[in-house]
Chain A
Amino acid sequence: MNPQDLLTLFDAAAMTALAPLIALALGTLAVLACGIIPGGSVVRPIAFLASLAAAAAYCVKTLVDGAPATLVLDGTFQSGPTTAVWGLVFIASTLFAWLYSAHYYEEDAPFKGEHDVLMLATPIGMMLMAGAHDLLVFFIGLELLSIPLYSLAAFRRDRIRSIEAGLKYFLLGAFAAACFLYGAALLYATTGSLSLDVFADPTRRAVILDQPLALVGVALIASSVFFKVSVFPFHLWVPDVYEGSPTPVTALMETGTKAAAFAFLLNALAMLPNSTAGSIALIAVITMAAGNFGALAQTDVKRMLAYSGIAHAGTLLLGVAGSLNGDPARGGAIEAALYYMAAYVATAGGAFGLLALLERENKGTTTLESLKGLAQRRPVVAAALTLFMLSLGGIPATGGFLGKYLVFSVAVRAELIPYAILGVLLSVVALGYYLRVIIAMYMQSPAEGSVVPESRPTPFATTLASVVCAALVIGLGILPRWFLEVM
C-alpha cells in the first residue's frame, strides 16, 4: 500500500459497510457518557435503542439498495446484502437480550450502565466477525465480542456460579484466542498474507493446502472457531458457563456468538479442503448426539437449553459440511444458515428470555419442577414457551422447522445422505426433552407443599420482546418465501 492510496481507502462503499458499526460504536460511547451526566439513567435506554435502530436502518438501507457484495478497505472487509442480513440478526439478538435483562437484575443492582455498554459493544464484534475477509479483522471482532461476554457472564457477583462461569469462559476463551493467533501466524508464514483472498484462486489454494504447516494453521483456526460455536469436542464448557451466567447474557451468547462464528465459518470455508466434507459432517452428527443425549439427562431447563444449543450447532455444521462442494454458490448453504440462525435467534432468545422471567419469580431456580402447573398460573407465558420449544424441536409451521429443512436439504444435495438421516433421527430424540417442558407446564401439577411463587405483573420490556420473538417464529414458519426473497 502506498501513501496516496490512503486517501481513497474510506470511499463511499467502505462508509456504507461501516455505517452500522460506527452507529453502534457511537452508541456505546453515548451509553458510557450517560454514567456521568445528570439524568443519565433516563437517557441511557434511549441512547441504547437509538444506536441499535440506526445500525439496523443502515443494514436495511444496504438491503434495499441491493448493491452486490464487494470488498472494501483494501479487501479486508465485506459489504453487501448477506452481511447486512447477518447484521440484522446480530442486532435482533442484542435487542432481545437487552430487553430481557431490563428487569432481570435487582432494582438497585449496581453497574447497570456498564452492563449496557458491554452489551452494546458485542454486536460490533459480531459484525466485524461476519464481515471479516482478513484474519486480523476477525480476531479483533472476536475479542470485541468475547471480552464483554466474559465480564457479563460473571456479572452477578453475588452468585458463585456466575463468577465460576465468567472465569471458566475467560480461561478457555483466552486459550481458544491463542490457538487462533497461532494458526493465523502459521498461515501467514506459508502464504505471506492474512487475507482470505489467498484461497480465492483455486491453483494457489491447492498449493497452500498441500503444505503441512498451512494445514496445522487451518486446524488451529478451525478449532478456535469450533470452540466458539461449541462443536464437539470443544463443547464441554457450554453447560456450566450457560447455566452460571445471567440468563439474558446466556441468550446473547447462545444466539449472537453462534451466529457470528458461523457467519465467519461460511466466509472462510475456502480454507478447508473439500475432502474434509465427510469428516466435518461426522463431527456435526457427533455434536448433535452429544447435545441431544446430554440434554435428555437434565432436570434444569437452562442447562437443558445449553445442551440443546450444542445440538443446534451440530445441525448447522452439517449444512456447512454440505456446502464444501467447491461451487461458488455453496449449494444455498449461506441462505440456509441465515434462515436457521434468524429463526434460532428469535426462538432461543425468546426461550431464554421467558426463563429469565420465571427465574426471577421462582427465586433463581429454572428446574423442570418449578415449571409444573405453569399453564394454570401463567397461561400466556406457558403458551409462548410452548411455541419456542416446538420451534426448537423443529415442528412444522414454526421457523425452526424450515431452518432445519433448509440445512438438511443442503446436506442431502451434497450427497451426505447418511449423515442427514442420522441428523434427522437425532432431531427426533431432541423432541423428547422439548416435549418434557411442555408436559411439565400443562399436564403436571406442582408437588404437594411446594411454595407457589407469587405472580408479578410481567414487565413491559419482557412482553414486547416475547411478542416480537413469537411473531418472528410464526412468521418465519408460515411466510418463508417473503423472508427468503428479502435475503
Chain B
Amino acid sequence: MTNILFYVLAIVALLGAAGVVLAKSPMGSVVSLLGTFFALAVIYLLAGFQFLAGAQILVYAGAILVLFLFVIMLLNLGAMGSKFELSFAPLQSTRARIAGCIALALALVGLVAAQRASFAAVPERDASAPAIDSMEGLALELFGRYSLPFQATSLLLLVTMVGVIALAKRQRSGDEPAKGEERP
C-alpha cells in the first residue's frame, strides 16, 4: 500500500516538475510547482517525517509560492492565458536534446549506483537518543551538533537580503537600467 502510494506520489511530483518547465504561462508553472511540493510533502510523511512535511507545506507551498504569485501578478506578464496549456517548443532545439540525453545518462548512472548500494557502512542509531524524525530529535540536531551552521544560516539570510537590495533597488529616481556598455 505504502509502495503504491509512493509511486503514485513520485509520478505526480515528476509530472509537476515537467509542468513547471513546459507550462506556457508562468501561472501554470507555479501551479505545477505546487503539485510537486504537495507530493513531496506526502512522501516525507510516508517516510515518517511529520515535521518536515508540515514545514514543506508551510514554507514552500505557503510562503514561497505565494511570493512567486505576487511577483508574477506585480510584473503583470501580459497575455497570460487563463487555460493551462503546455508548450513543447523548449524541447525542439538540438541543444535541449543533447542536454536531455546527458541528463538521462546521468540519471541512469545514479539508478544503477542506487541499485547496487549497500547500507553496510551506515552505523546503528543510538536507541536512547531521540529519533531524528521527531521534532525533539530535529531540534536537538539543530541546536546541538548543527548549531554552528544553523546560526550561520541567519547571517547568510541577512547578507542575502542586503545583496538583493543592493542589486534590485533603484539607484536614483529616473534611473534607467543599463543598456549601453558604459554610461557617461
A interface residues (Cβ-Cβ under 8 A, vs B) = 1-3, 5-6, 9-10, 18, 25, 28, 32, 73-77, 110-111, 114-115, 117-118, 121, 124, 128, 134, 136-137, 139-141, 143-144, 147-148, 150-152, 154-155, 157-161, 163, 166, 186, 189-193, 198, 204, 207-208, 211-216, 364
Give the Cβ gap from A23 to chain B, nearest Cβ, in Å: 13
| B180 is an interface residue with CB less than 8 A from chain A | yes
Q: Do A118 and B113 have beta carbons less than 8 Å apart?
A: no
**Which size bracket describes the interface of B in this complex?**
35 or more
Distance, CA A204 to CA B121, complexed state (A): 7
A145 to B89, CA, bound (A): 37
Inter-chain pairs besides A1-B144, A74-B144, A147-B159, 10 sampled, C-beta below 8 Å? A73-B147, A74-B145, A115-B166, A118-B163, A148-B159, A150-B163, A154-B167, A189-B117, A204-B121, A211-B113
Contact B159 A28 (CB under 8 A): yes
- Chain A residues within an 8 Å CB radius of B140: 1-3, 6
Which of B114, B159, B165, B177 has the largest number of chain A CB atoms within 10 A?
B159
Separation of A6 and B141 alpha carbons in the complex (Å)? 10
B121–A208 CB distance below 8 A:
yes
Contact status A157-B171, CB under 8 Å: yes
Establish whether residues B180 and A76, one from each chain, have CB atoms under 8 Å apart when the complex forms.
Answer: no
Given A159-B178, A213-B114, is A118 in contact with B147 using a C-beta cutoff of 8 Å?
Answer: no
The reply to whether A212 and B143 contact each other, CB–CB distance below 8 Å, is no
Q: What are 22 of the A-B contact pairs (CB < 8 Å)?
A: A2-B140, A10-B147, A32-B162, A73-B147, A76-B148, A110-B171, A114-B165, A117-B159, A118-B162, A151-B166, A154-B167, A155-B166, A157-B178, A158-B182, A161-B181, A186-B110, A186-B113, A198-B121, A207-B121, A215-B113, A216-B109, A216-B113
Q: Are B109 and A144 touching (Cβ within 8 A)?
A: no
B155's contact among A76, A110, A144, A212, by CB below 8 Å, is which? Answer: A144
B88 within 8 A of A: no
* Nearest Cβ on chain A to B153's Cβ, whole angstroms: 6
- Given A157-B171, A190-B121, A114–B149 Cβ distance below 8 Å? no
- Given A9-B144, A118-B159, A118-B166: A190 and B109 within 8 A (CB)? no
Identify which of B112, B121, B158, B164 contacts A212 (C-beta below 8 A): B112
Which chain B residues lie closer than 8 Å to A152 at the CB level? 163
Which of B110, B165, B167 gathers most chain A CB within 10 Å? B167
Let me know if B123 is at the binding interface, CB within 8 A: yes
Question: By the criterion CB–CB under 8 Å, are A191 and B122 in contact?
Answer: yes
- Mostly helix, strand, loop or mixed at chain A's interface? helix
Distance from A222 Cβ to chain B, minimum over Cβ atoms (Å): 15
CB distance from A255 to the nearest CB of B (A): 20
Q: Mark B132-173, 1 if CB is under 8 A from A, else 0.
A: 000000001101111111001101101110111111010110
Give every chain B residue within 8 A of A9 (Cβ-Cβ).
Answer: 144, 147
Q: Cβ of B123 and Cβ of A213 under 8 Å apart?
A: no
Residue-by-residue, is B39-65 near A (CB-CB < 8 Å gives 1, otherwise 0)?
Answer: 000000000000000000000000000
Tell me which of B120, B129, B167, B181 contacts A157 (CB under 8 A): B167
Rounded to whole angstroms, the CA-CA distance of A140 and B148 in the bound complex is 9
Q: Return A304 CB to nearest CB of chain B, in Å.
A: 20
Given contacts A136-B149, A191-B122, contact A151 B163 (CB under 8 A): yes
* CB within 8 Å for A160 and B166 given contacts A9-B144, A140-B153, A192-B123: no
> Is B182 within 8 A of A159, CB to CB?
yes
**Which residues from B are CB-within-8-Å of A186?**
110, 113
Let me know if A160 and B181 touch, CB within 8 A: yes
Q: Which A-B residue pairs are the 7 nearest by beta carbons?
A: A151-B163, A192-B122, A212-B113, A114-B166, A213-B117, A1-B144, A140-B149
